[in-house]
Amino acid sequence: MAIGSWKAESWVNEGAKEMVAKKRIYIGLLAASLLFEMALVFMLWYVIVNRDIIISQIMLIIVAAALGITFLILGLGILAIVIMIIRSRSMPSLEKLTLWVNEMLFPIALIIGRTLGMDKEKILKSFISVNNYITASKKIRPGEKILMLLPHCLQNSDCPFKITIDINNCKNCGKCRIGQLKEMADKYNAVLKVATGGTLARKWIEEVRPRAVVAVACERDLAAGIQDTGGLPVLGVLNSRPYGPCINTDVCLDQVDQALRTLVQGG
C-alpha cells in the first residue's frame, strides 16, 4: 500500500470515530431546541387557559393543533436526520424537511449549547459533521460540475499575486497550499475559486452553478455557508489556524482529496 493511500485511510478511520461523537452533540441540541420550544408554548397555553378573560375555545384548539403539527413535523425531521446517519443513506423525500428543521432549530441549538457551557466552535463542528455525513450519503451524478471554494487566508500573506480574481495567477511557489489545491482541482476536473467572504462565495456559486461544493473554511464561515446554499450539497473541510484566524491558514490535503473523491464518485 502506498504511503499516501495509507495516510488517507488512516485519516478516514480516525475521522469516522471523531465524527460520530461530534454528530451526537448537534443532534442532541436539536432535540433540546424542540423540547424548549414545546415547553414555551405549553406555558403560554397554560397562562391563557387559566386567565379570567373568556377566550374562544375553538381558537385555542386551532392554535394548539397547528403548533402540535409543527412540533410533530420538527420531531420527524430530527428523526429523519438520525435515520440517515444510521443508514448512511440519504432520503430524498425528506431532504427539504431536514433543511427546514436546521433553519428553525439551529439558532436555538446554539443558544442552548452556549447556555450549557459548550464551546461555540464545538457546536459548529458538530453541525458541519452532521451535514457532511448526510451530504456524503446523497446520490450525486458522477461527472456533474463541482465547485472547490477556498478562503483567501490560505494564500501566503506575503504573496503579491491576487488569486481571488483569477486562480491562475498562482505561481505554485510552494509557500502555501494554493498550488497543490489547484493541481487537485485539475485532477478532479473541479472549478476552483477563492473567496474573501460570504458575499463573494455566493457570487461564485451563482456564476458557476455547481451540482455540489467542497468548501474549506473555519467553523463559523462553513456553518454559515452551508445554511446559505439552500440545500446545495456541500462538503465542508475545516482549515487549521497555526498563526491565528484569517492569516496563513492551512488545510489537510487528504481531507480535501477525500471530499472531492466522494462527490466525483457520486456520493
Q: What is the pLDDT of residues 231-262, one digit of tens each?
A: 788 999 999 999 888 899 999 999 999 999 98
Confidence class for position 37, pLDDT limits 50, 70, 90: confident
Compute the distance between CA of residue 227 and CA of residue 102 in angstroms, rounded to an integer: 8
Give the pLDDT score at 21. Answer: 54
Element (H, E) at 29: helix 3-49
Which grid cell is 129?
459533521
**pLDDT value of position 51:** 59
Check pLDDT > 70 for residue 57.
no
Residue 54 confidence (pLDDT) above 60: no
Per residue, the 3-state secondary structure of 89-110, as one string, reads CCCHHHHHHHHHHHHHHHHHHH
**45 with 68: CB under 8 angstroms?**
no
- Among residues 149, 84, 144, the alpha carbon closest in space to that of 266 is found at 144
Query: Average pLDDT, stretch 1-20?
Result: 45
Maximal C-alpha separation, the chain: 78
| Whether 265 contacts 148, CB under 8 Å | no
Confidence class for position 95, pLDDT limits 50, 70, 90: confident
pLDDT of residue 22: 67
* Residue whose C-alpha cell reads 482529496 in the numeric block: 257
Confidence of residue 14 (pLDDT cuts 50, 70, 90): very low
Average pLDDT over residues 194-210: 90
pLDDT tier at 59, thresholds 50, 70, 90 = low
pLDDT recorded at residue 4: 43
Any bridge partners for residue 146, and if so which? 212
Is a pLDDT exceeding 50 seen at residue 115?
A: yes
Mean pLDDT value across residues 26-55: 74
| Position 12 pLDDT exceeds 60 | no
Taking only the tens place, the pLDDT of each residue in 120-154 is 888 898 888 888 888 887 776 666 789 999 999 99
Burial of 131 (0-12, 13-18, 19+ CB in 10 A): buried
Spatial distance between the Cα atoms of 74 and 84, rounded to a whole number of angstroms: 15
pLDDT of residue 58: 66
Question: What's the average model confidence in pLDDT over 35-41?
Answer: 80
Return the SS3 of 259: helix
Query: In this prediction, what percent of the chain has a pLDDT beyond 70?
Result: 82
Mean pLDDT on 64-83:
81
Q: What pLDDT does residue 47 have?
A: 65
